[in-house]
Amino acid sequence: MKYALIAISTLCASVLSADPAISNWFSDGKVHGNIKYYYIETDKDNGAGTTSSAHANSVGGQLGYTTGSLYGLKLGATFMTTNPFALPNVVDTSIIGKDNGVRGGDPKKGFSVLGEAFVQYERDFFTLWYGRKKLDTPLINTKEVRMLPSTVQGTMADAAWGAWHIDAGYLDRFKQRTSDDFVNIVEHALGDETHSVTGHSAGYVVPLSVTYDDKALLLQAYDYYSPDFMNSLYLGAQYRYMFASSGAKLSVGAQYIAQQSVGNAEDNLGQSGSITGGEKLSASAFGLKASLSHHEGTLYAAYTNVPRSEGDHDSLVLPWDGTPLFTNMITSNDLFQSLYGHAFNADSAYIGGTQGVKLAYSQGFDFTSVTGLKATIAWAQFSNSRAGFDKDQQDINAVLGYKRDAFSLALKGIWVSHNTSADKTGAVAQLDSLTQYRVIANYKF
């Protein structure tokens, strides 16, 4: 991939060097990036008197450059780095190289990576890019809540007509946010079991989507098809209304997700010795949400349900950092589902049979003398009659954020009772409690 991009860039430069516009191509370009400091501490009570505590510090960020447009053509690249320091004996590697560790590397070692490197062509309503790039959709996401984002490699085309967007593409590699390696996108999901599930050593994903957004109404339809692995469908709708008399804003939304194993995976997962214990993938979910905002305050409520389907692997499979459910909390569907080979693991709201309820309130304080300050408190409860899900999981998240110009600071506290996860076979395990604290300072430019 990197050699192809170098070749394309060299060819473009050599062919266009005689054109006077070439100098403007670069002089009109923009540098962008951020410098980030991250502290995390995670304490767990595993029950029976067994506890653990881990923390980490890291500094790093991103530095990117995108050229101006030359006959619709742009080049872009983003360098990304995470550099741990002052590490304790027990390290929380979730802001360093946890995914690298799963694949045999040192998870406590920092890394640098060319996270984005792309060629992009734009003309009128049409955009096409090829290379490495960030991609934010409900099912594949950057999940930029730790040090670095996840990114993909492939090509995507977008056609826009007014409020409508139609997207199609081909994705063959994925870099998880705690890794510097672009791994085949299906291998990343299934790890060493890629061949036993799909019958191939690698695979790809074909993303298709249609969206409509006219500011009042948002409609979304995403379908991600991976031959001999799975098909994932996401449907979403949101309606937004402003009360003219008070300026208050109301938003209501609904979502539906359906996932099925396809091709070889449909046959192979159904065998008794498969990684899912003989269960084919057949999972679904639906959710409702509503929010009401007035001045600087916002009240939010959501409900989600991942229906139980006996005899099937009914937990949502989200190996590429998608966290689509409306009841998602800071630690819900955490990065461990998007680690190498962990596609069939699941967490809290995403486990088959789980019903979730979330309430949240955020308040800005610009009306005081302290501008840029915002506080958010969120509560969620997840219940499930599945064996092993013996007690309801309850989450409390508190975030105090401050933003001034390009600088932001966030203090996060996370308290979870009976934190619940499910392995590839659907077997459920619960911690007595999980407590986590984060300090994130970020400067964007």
State the SS3 of 292-321: EEECCEEEEEEEEECCCCCCEECCCCCCCE
Using the predicted structure, report yes or no on whether residue 192 has a pLDDT greater than 70: yes
What would the mean pLDDT of 247-262 be, rounded to a whole number? 97
pLDDT band at 303 (very low <50, low <70, confident <90, very high): very high
Are 92 and 331 within 8 A, CB to CB?
Answer: no
Q: In the prediction, which pLDDT does 332 show? A: 65
Mean pLDDT, residues 72-95: 97
Q: In the predicted model, what is the mean pLDDT of residues 143-150?
A: 93
Percent of the chain exceeding pLDDT 70 equals: 95
Q: Are 397 and 422 in contact (CB under 8 A)?
A: no
Res. 46 pLDDT band, cuts 50 70 90: confident
The helix/strand/coil state of 274 is: coil
214-241 tens-digit pLDDT: 989 999 999 999 999 999 999 999 999 9
pLDDT over 80 at 3, yes or no:
no
User: How many Å separate Cα 124 from the centre of its chain?
Assistant: 30
**Residue 195 in this model has a pLDDT that exceeds 90:** yes
pLDDT for 335 equals 59
Distance CA 46, CA 421 (A): 13
Average pLDDT over residues 45-72: 93
**Is the pLDDT reported for residue 350 higher than 80?**
yes
**Tokens 């007014």 sit at which residue?**
162
pLDDT band at residue 47 under the 50/70/90 scheme: confident
pLDDT of residue 23: 81
Is the predicted pLDDT of residue 18 greater than 80, yes or no? no
Amino acid code (one letter) for 250: L
Q: Is the pLDDT of residue 333 over 60?
A: no
- Laid out side by side, the sheet with 346-347 consists of 346-347, 420-422, 428-430
Helix/strand/coil (H/E/C) assignment for every residue in 114-164: EEEEEEEEEECCEEEEEEEECCCCCCECCCCCCCCCCEEEEEEEEEEECCE
Q: Tell me the mean pLDDT in the region 127-131.
A: 98
Give me the chain's average pLDDT, please: 94
Q: 239: number of CA atoms within 13 Å, CB side?
A: 4
Q: Which residues pair with 236 in a beta bridge?
A: 220, 255
| Average confidence (pLDDT) over 373-380 | 98
Burial of 192 (0-12, 13-18, 19+ CB in 10 A): exposed
**Domain 2-444 superfamily per CATH:** Porin (2.40.160.10)
Mean pLDDT value of segment 179-185 = 98
How many Cα neighbours within 13 Å face the side chain of 5?
20
Q: Looking at per-residue confidence, does 348 or 5 come out higher?
A: 348
pLDDT in tens, 269-279: 999 999 999 99
Supply the pLDDT for residue 129. 98
- pLDDT of the residue at 272: 92
Closest residue by Cα to residue 116 from 68, 64, 174 = 64
pLDDT given at position 36: 98
The pLDDT, as a whole number, for residue 21 is 77
> What per-residue confidence (pLDDT) applies to 19?
64
Give the mean model confidence (pLDDT) for residues 78-94: 97
What pLDDT does 365 receive? Answer: 95
Tokens at 157, concatenated? 């085309």
The predicted structure's pLDDT at residue 10? 59
